[in-house]
Amino acid sequence: MARIASASWTAVRVAATFIISLTAMTLAAEPQADRQREGIESTTVAAPRDRAALERQVRTFVNAIAVKPGEESLARWQSQIPLCPLVAGLPSQDGEYILSRVSRIATAAGAPLAPSHCKGNFYIIITSDPEGIIKAWSKRDVRLFGDETDQGGAAIREFNAARSIRVWYNTEFYRLDGTPLGNAEGRTNDSARATRIETNNYRALSSIIALVDTRHLKNVSFGQVAAYVAMIGLVQLRPQADVSDMPTILKLIADPAKAPPALTAWDESFLKAVYQTRSTDRAQLAAIKAAMVQDVAP
């Protein structure tokens, strides 16, 4: 199970001077209360009698949240860069609780986890001053936002917008043999052998920043935060997608009162399908949808 990353993470250490004490944190439920509910937090969603209706709902859900530019693959964690979550801004026990939940969700989905004492690449920062964190971190790490030519200033402005939980994704491209290809546009792939069913390369997550702003979260449990950050941290998603009519933890930001207490059957099925499908499959989204329908309504 991935543990808290080494304190040698300089950027977080510098940014931590801006993290305000969370003794009066607005997250409602204490970790102990969440632990007592762990056995009943799996939300089961009954499948509609009309299978065609279910297929339409699943199709709408996946299309709304999945980020798949053109013929590129979904960005997920790959064996070349296994997931190593890190939590900053909480007392050690509370940080370990969130890490444990995120790690269990990742394991259930089939995501590769780095060994203990790994170098963090999924940074979960709990703070009441996210703007201060971003400013301090940017000064120390000019590569905070990766290659800005890839994602553009609009994506950075979107990340900087005030929200309860913000997420930034950095990705890398890999050749079919698993070696890095790089993100430079037009880079030649010497091992290219694309077919009608397979792409030349695939995208992998290389690092993620999730900023949890405690000023905007009320009556939200640690368990819900852990489930939400796990959902957005295992695959590149559109957190601002309209999911108001769908059974998903992604409702947490737009409507916390209607959000489930944990990942739903749809969330778990989606994550599992993402890691069971081939990243190089041109029909990856279709395969995910089919797997979800079979999973939630066998």
Asked, for residue 187, whether it belongs to a domain, the answer is yes
Q: Quick check: is 1 in a domain?
A: no
Look at residue 243 and tell me whether its pLDDT is greater than 80. Answer: yes
**Angle, helix 222-233 to helix 265-276, in steps of 10 degrees:** 30
Tell me what pLDDT residue 14 has: 41
- Band of pLDDT at residue 1, cut at 50, 70 and 90: very low
The pLDDT assigned to 16 comes to 42
Q: What is the pLDDT of residues 13-57, one digit of tens each?
A: 444 444 333 333 445 444 544 544 444 344 445 444 588 999 999
Residue 3 lies in a domain: no
Closest by CA position to 261, among listed 270, 249, 272: 249
What pLDDT does 70 receive? 72
Q: Left if phi > 0, otherwise alpha if psi is -120 to 50, otherwise beta: which for 31? A: alpha
pLDDT-derived band at 2 (thresholds 50, 70, 90) equals very low
* Closest among 78, 84, 152, 90 to 118, alpha carbons compared: 84
CA-CA-CA-CA dihedral for 58, 151, 110, 41, to nearest 10: -60
> What pLDDT band is residue 118 in, cutting at 50, 70 and 90?
very high
Q: Is residue 5 a part of any domain in this protein?
A: no
Per-residue pLDDT at 26: 41
Find residue 208's DSSP bridge partners: 122, 169
The answer to which of 126-130, 182-186, 293-297 has the lowest mean pLDDT is: 182-186
Question: How many domains does the structure of the chain reveal?
Answer: 1
Q: How many CA atoms lie within 13 A of 262 on its CB side?
A: 19
pLDDT bin (cut points 50, 70, 90) of residue 226 is very high
Asked whether residue 4 is domain-assigned, the answer is no
Quick check: 71 pLDDT over 60? yes
Which residues, at least 6 apart from 118, have a Cβ–Cβ distance to it below 8 Å? Answer: 2, 3, 5, 82, 84
Bridge partners, residue 198, by sequence: 281
What distance lies between CA 234 and its chain's CA centroid?
A: 4
Cα gap 209→19, rounded to integer Å = 15
Q: 């397979």: which residue's tokens?
A: 198
3 state SS of 244: coil
pLDDT on residue 274? 96
Q: Which token pair is 204?
A: 């992998």
Q: H-type helices in 77-129, by residue range?
A: 92-109
Domain range for 222 is 10-296
Residue 47 lies in a domain: yes
**What number is the average pLDDT over the span 222-241?**
94
Position 2 in a domain: no
Does the residue 33 lie in any domain? Answer: yes
Dihedral, 254, 260, 261, 266 alpha carbons, nearest 10: -110
The reported pTM is 0.79
Write out pLDDT tens, residues 165-209: 989 999 888 887 777 875 544 444 444 455 556 777 888 999 999
Given pLDDT bands bounded at 50, 70 and 90, which one contains residue 72?
Answer: confident
Query: Picking from 128-132, 151-155, 188-192, 243-247, which range would have the lowest pLDDT averaged per residue?
Result: 188-192
Least Cα distance to 224 among 36, 28, 22 occurs for 28
Rounded Cα distance between 113 and 83, Å, is: 5
Whether the predicted pLDDT of 124 surpasses 70:
yes
- C-alpha 2/C-alpha 279 separation (Å) is 24
